[in-house]
Structure 1
């Protein structure tokens, strides 16, 4: 217990709830819905013409709403607490899963269910980022560590590795437990529509259990005292910006009535003035884009190769959508599953290693740069390979090395961006007037030393909120960057895939990783020159 307390400011129960509840299930239900929604469309609603367009439109609407919802949930968590948002997020997911299988048409009923699911998913995915700095360092001990310059033992980097691993395990939970449910229910005599319906009910029950675990397990998190739903309409906990505004005679109307815009703007501005937070944002962009590159474009690339080469034997299942690789070209589906499986397995194994390495190299972010270089090399090699196959005349076993590099790139970007962002949050100076308690004297002295340097380059006196008050907003912007990465690669990559080459999305991913390498190198040079 002593060693655990030396690493985290949160308790053992709180840490385990975060790692085994919030992190894995933020992925579990998303994988379940994405993998099974086509069966809802065909077997329950009965749509067989235009299935691919309907599923694609639902997914695009999901991402668009999540793009706007993630920052809102992040800012909201700063006011009501991360525990409340986690609980609400999984409750909304449970409700959406139930409503999914009540739909009798795609528009508007199934669309509304998907949008509700997007709201819940945005909440829990944002909280994966927001809870990390709370668990690893939000108390007086972490403040002393940051200001005295001893960051070598900051635990957020190490924990970020386990976050990535637990998220990967969440996908496995979906694949092993939830997705086989329809087949199990059919074996028990239920019709296909009933089997899908009961599968979604089971998933909803799991989401409710996770919500209850978050409500109980995340209670009394450090720095979250007094943050409840009532904070939205009561003045019992005065907003910190109001107190700062009064001290410096600022008008308080906008800051009290529009906290979202103020906090959201502050979180964005921090990206321009704090190198760690900027790199964290860009890392989130690359990480989420990588997930699309692996899960969407690698199967499309394999399918396209098999069709152009005439390797599908010309015998797709009658009446299937050509975009459904599993039924229209089973050989391509098998190969795509092997390649993406290798990539994700390597990522799962490498996640703790990246967390450990990030902890040892917090100054120059070397592990993140290594992951990005692996991405540049891996995606370029993938784009230039004559065949994605590992056997046959044009096949090459080296494809597995390429997949390993791509998996390393993805998990490295996820783990290291979380680590860098969390350390950036914990490194923010803390204004003296926001702290109290037995350690107030030491914190006040440190804060007074930092008051001469405005955090956001604003006029003197306009101080940024302490990390505990902005962590959710920063996490929301991080998720916003991630969503932008998904939408950009999906739309631009899809257009260029059809117009230019099936390798175009991989060149785009190589470019994204190259940009992050350049930014990381420039940041390291600036740090080195200033030291």
Structure 2
């Protein structure tokens, strides 16, 4: 049985995880700094911040819902073009470059050009949504590539490679330099030697989907933790390094710097990402098997048909809805909870601090709500660390014969219900103080739920069409786009309803999320 994606290299796996790491770190930064950006840069009154966040979230997800399936199908169509033009990169490489470039443009817009909520932030948030949708949809495609490749975990141990007879491999039978070394028309490397370790071809269908999805979960979790520890505190550090910067200017500079970071990420990914079309061509696959001339809308229809006829894919779509909703809760509504506590309890205290120190009132105060920044970084950092540490466990559960992806989704949704309903119970007062051990535990449960549903659902999607003979791999981009679309719908629902509800009760979004998790548990445990 032929590998669907032959000659998969270690660097391809590393850049896949780097793409997820970078994208999530930028998303966490933008979402977590939203309350402070709206207040300090745009000048939105504190009592209107929740509604503004909900509105921007709605704009974001309306765009994502529209573009996600279209971008996924575009990946499949670009692959068709690449079959007809040998020098044309595969869809995943091109779209990752474009997506990170769009993210860079959006962050630069936030940092340099946005001055009003409408139309400025509406526009730049829509651009941001296009970039994130493209990046994460294609990350799912890239995960499918490695899950259905000749990659094995032993490939990571490149230091064990023996150099014996390495020189002989450089020459073909006629003594000429062999440039067709099963990869990218380049000289063999230590990494290439590892890929020549002989193992049975039947091992390509081994249970590695959960493990590789868990590795991606670790990478995205690290991205979130990295963002909390470094990106989220960047405005504070810039302000301390450059005392002349106001809180507004330090926020704007942070967005600008991260825009440049995103552009660099795009270049790295396009250079080192796996090219499925090129590798299949070098391995002798014929264009006829890939249907390179299928039209864009035919590919989209095939993706819809594959989803409609596969109950496992449908379960993954429901899990995507819940996991992305949970991501909003942890990245948007938990920061909003912290923001409202610090403002409503007077702990931001800009006016009191000015009066007590007799500082001129026309001077910008960089100390406004920076304690809130620090506590938010600690709270979300703990939650993301718990999720990060648990990622390998979720991968083991998914690959387990006794549990599998469905039971794993049920367990993850149970954690979600405990976290959300628990927050609703402890937060019944007018002002809830999140600086308690109970809050840290409940928020950590949300992190566990999010990473569990992500790993289980992505492992389901990545197991689709495992061989050349199966047709689903031709429309994996469309399936991944629909997966992202369902996640976008979840975010759209919780941001519109939850954002407006949070202006009256900050824990309203968590009650809504709890019902989503209950529905997922019911679907995952359903027979059939």
Give the TM-score normalised by the residue count of structure 2.
0.71
Say whether 1:357 aligns with 2:386.
Answer: no
Shift of 1:404: 3.7
**One of 121, 124, 133 as aligned partner of 2:135:** 124
Q: CA deviation at 1:124?
A: 0.6
1:517 aligned residue (510, 521, 525): 521
Shift of 1:237: 7.0
Q: Which residue among 103, 109, 122 is the counterpart of 1:111?
A: 122
Aligned with residue 9 of structure 2, among 8, 11, 34? 11
Structure 2 distance, partners of 1:79, 1:190, is: 51
Q: Report the CA distance between 1:514 and its aligned residue.
A: 2.0
SS in 2 for 1:191: coil
Q: 2:511 aligns with which of 504, 507, 513?
A: 507
Q: In the alignment, is the contact (CA less than 8 A) between 2:35 and 2:335 conserved in 1?
A: no
- CA shift, 1:132, in A, is 0.6
The reply on whether 1:271 has 2:307 as its aligned counterpart is yes
CA contact 1:160–1:355 (8 Å) conserved in 2: yes
**Cα distance in structure 1, aligned partners of 2:369 and 2:120:** 32
Deviations 1:139-185 (A, max 9, x none): 799xxxxxx99887232210111111111111223233334444444
The answer to whether the aligner puts 1:29 opposite 2:13 as a matched pair is no
Using the alignment, how far apart are the partners of 1:194 and 1:384 within structure 2?
39
1:348 aligns with 2:405: no
Task: Give the alignment of 1:366-385 within 5 angstroms.
Answer: 366-385=407-426
Give the secondary-structure state (helix, strand or coil) at the position aligned to 1:485.
helix
Residues 12 and 273 of structure 2 are in contact (CA less than 8 Å); yes or no, is this contact kept in structure 1? Answer: yes
Contact 2:233 / 2:373 at 8 angstroms: preserved in 1? no
* Residue 281 (structure 1) aligned to one of 317, 324, 338: 317
Q: Aligned partners of 1:397 and 1:104: how far apart in 2?
A: 38
If asked which structure has higher relative contact order (CA below 8 Å, sep 6+), I would say 2
For the Cα contact (< 8 Å) 1:279–1:421, is it kept in 2?
Answer: no
Q: Say if 1:317 and 1:24 are closer, same or farther in 2 by CA, change over 3 A.
A: same
Cα distance between partner residues in 1 of 2:127 and 2:32: 18
Whether the 8 Å contact between 1:388 and 1:399 is mirrored in structure 2 is: no
1:489 aligns with 2:497: no
Out of 267, 288, 299, the residue aligned to residue 212 of structure 1 is: 267
SS in 2 for 1:158: helix
Q: SS in structure 2 opposite 1:101?
A: helix
Separation (CA, whole Å) in 2 of partners of 1:132 and 1:288: 18
Aligned match of 2:211 in 134, 141, 158?
Answer: 158
Report the counterpart of residue 178 of structure 1 in structure 2: 231
Q: 1:69 is matched with which residue: 67, 70, 90?
A: 67
1:16 to partner: Cα distance: 0.7
2:63–2:126: 8 Å Cα contact kept in structure 1? yes
Deviation, structure 1 residue 95: 2.4
Counterpart CA distance in 1 for 2:39 and 2:61 is 22
CA-CA distance at 1:12 after TM superposition: 0.6
Is contact 2:6–2:280 with CA below 8 Å preserved after alignment? no
| Counterpart Cα distance in 2 of 1:126 and 1:136 | 16
Q: CA 1:237 to 1:149, structure 2 compared with 1: closer, same or farther past 3 Å?
A: closer
Contact 1:372 1:413 in 2 (8 A): yes
Which residue pairs with 2:451 in the alignment? 411
Q: What are structure 2's unaligned runs of at least 5 residues?
A: 79-90, 153-200, 354-365
User: How far apart are the structure 2 equivalents of 1:270 and 1:97?
Assistant: 36
**Equivalent residue, structure 2, for 1:469:** 474
2:164 equivalent in structure 1: none
Query: 1:135·1:221 contact (CA, 8 Å) conserved in 2?
Result: no
Query: What is the distance in 2 between the residues matched to 1:373 and 1:121?
Result: 28
Q: Cα gap change, 1:120/1:498 in structure 2, threshold over 3 Å: closer, same or farther? A: closer
Aligned-pair CA distance for 1:189: 5.5
The answer (yes or no) to whether the contact 2:8–2:146 under 8 Å persists in 1 is yes
Distance 1:17 1:140 in 2: 14
In structure 2, the partner of 1:422 is 462
Equivalent-residue separation in structure 2 for 1:194 and 1:495 (angstroms) = 29
Distance change in 2, residues 1:504/1:478 (3 Å): same
CA distance in 2, matches of 1:189, 1:305: 27
CA contact (8 A) 1:8 1:135 kept: no
2:483 equivalent to 1:478: yes
Matched residue count: 443
- Measure the CA separation in 1 of the matches of 2:136 and 2:32: 18
